[in-house]
Amino acid sequence: MIKKTFFYLSLLAILFTSCQSNEYDTRAVEALDNLTDTIGELSSCSYTVTIFTIDENGEETNKLSDIYLRGPDKMYIENRGPKGDKHFWYNGKNFAYFLFNKSEYDIIEVPDNILKVIDLIHDTYGIDFPAADFLYPSLTDDIIESNSQLLYLGEEKVDDITYISIEAINEEQIAQIWIEKATNLPYKLVIESKTNENDYYEAVYSNWRINPELPDIMFEFQAPENSIQVKFQPKK
């Protein structure tokens, strides 16, 4: 009997510890699901992302990106940052980039899907796309898989607009996400390191346009005169 009692107590302790270590608020899960459903139903969109980062050495960087998407296979991005302007074009067959400060470009063949192209270019060449996480239909599952806690922090009002605030936590970082309640669109993402106080990432989304008319010509790249083609270099 003592052995049985000890077994049951041990089992309860394990279950209690398991419940304590993983916490996923259903309201936070619902907010993320609503966001991904909303974006997944769009035929096209455009928005601006303002990114502020502090790296592990304390160096601050500001970047601004205007993104234009037309599903499933059209993308145009204007990036402006401290290292100069850099634009990307994707027309469903080819991906092109142009560096304005060096007048350099390249064009490569890619898959026929925006998310596949983002993954390919990032994994092969190490190019980051500005705050693209919210475009993935697996966003909720990805966040739950990589975090032990997903918390609902409540509603906040900024300039008469109500936002839902949620927080995802794992051993390395804390991510806070603000979602506009009326539209289910992302407003802000902040990621803070738990191991390095200098490591900070902030992205603010603005200028959302839902299902705008985006012509084919927007996604076509033509190399400017006197520009130089420099081959994409895979990351090491």
Tens of pLDDT, residue by residue over 184-231, are: 999 999 999 998 888 899 999 999 999 999 999 999 999 999 999 999
The pLDDT score that the predictor gives to residue 21 is 66
Domain range holding 147? 24-229
At 83, the pLDDT band (50, 70, 90 cuts) reads confident
The pLDDT score that the predictor gives to residue 3 is 38
For residue 11, being part of any structural domain is answered with no
Compute the distance between CA of residue 110 and CA of residue 229 in angstroms, rounded to an integer: 18
pLDDT digits (tens, 9 = 90+) for 147-178: 999 999 999 998 899 999 999 999 999 999 99
For residue 116, being part of any structural domain is answered with yes
* Residue of 73, 223, 30, 201 whose CA lies nearest to 131: 201
For residue 182, being part of any structural domain is answered with yes
DSSP state of 83: T
CATH number, domain containing residue 57:
2.50.20.10
Q: Which residues of 112-137 are buried (b: 16+ CB within 10 A; e: fewer)?
A: eebbebbebbeeeeebebbbbebbbe
Does residue 90 surpass a pLDDT of 80? yes
For residue 205, being part of any structural domain is answered with yes
Whole-number average pLDDT of the chain: 90
Name the helix (H) or strand (E) containing 150. Answer: strand 149-158
Number of structural domains the chain divides into: 1
The pLDDT score that the predictor gives to residue 128 is 87
At 134, the pLDDT band (50, 70, 90 cuts) reads very high
The pLDDT score that the predictor gives to residue 130 is 81
Beta-bridged to residue 88, according to DSSP, are 77, 97
Does residue 16 surpass a pLDDT of 70? no
At 82, the pLDDT band (50, 70, 90 cuts) reads confident
The pLDDT score that the predictor gives to residue 147 is 96
Average pLDDT over residues 95-123: 95
The token pair that represents 89 in the structure block: 């074009």
HSE-up of 120 (CA within 13 Å, CB side)?
Answer: 14
Beta-bridged to residue 107, according to DSSP, are 96
Length of the chain: 236
* Residue of 234, 235, 231, 233 whose CA lies nearest to 105: 231
The pLDDT score that the predictor gives to residue 10 is 44
Compute the distance between CA of residue 169 and CA of residue 133 in angstroms, rounded to an integer: 16
For residue 83, being part of any structural domain is answered with yes
At 9, the pLDDT band (50, 70, 90 cuts) reads very low
DSSP state of 128: P
Please state the φ and ψ torsions of residue 10, each to the nearest 5 degrees.
Answer: -65, -40
For residue 7, being part of any structural domain is answered with no
Q: Percent of the chain, pLDDT > 90?
A: 78
For residue 2, being part of any structural domain is answered with no
The one-letter amino acid code at 129 reads F
The one-letter amino acid code at 165 reads S
The pLDDT score that the predictor gives to residue 131 is 76
DSSP state of 100: T
Please state the φ and ψ torsions of residue 72, each to the nearest 5 degrees.
Answer: -95, 0
Does residue 139 surpass a pLDDT of 70? yes
Please state the φ and ψ torsions of residue 219, each to the nearest 5 degrees.
Answer: -100, 10
For residue 160, being part of any structural domain is answered with yes
Does residue 4 surpass a pLDDT of 50? no
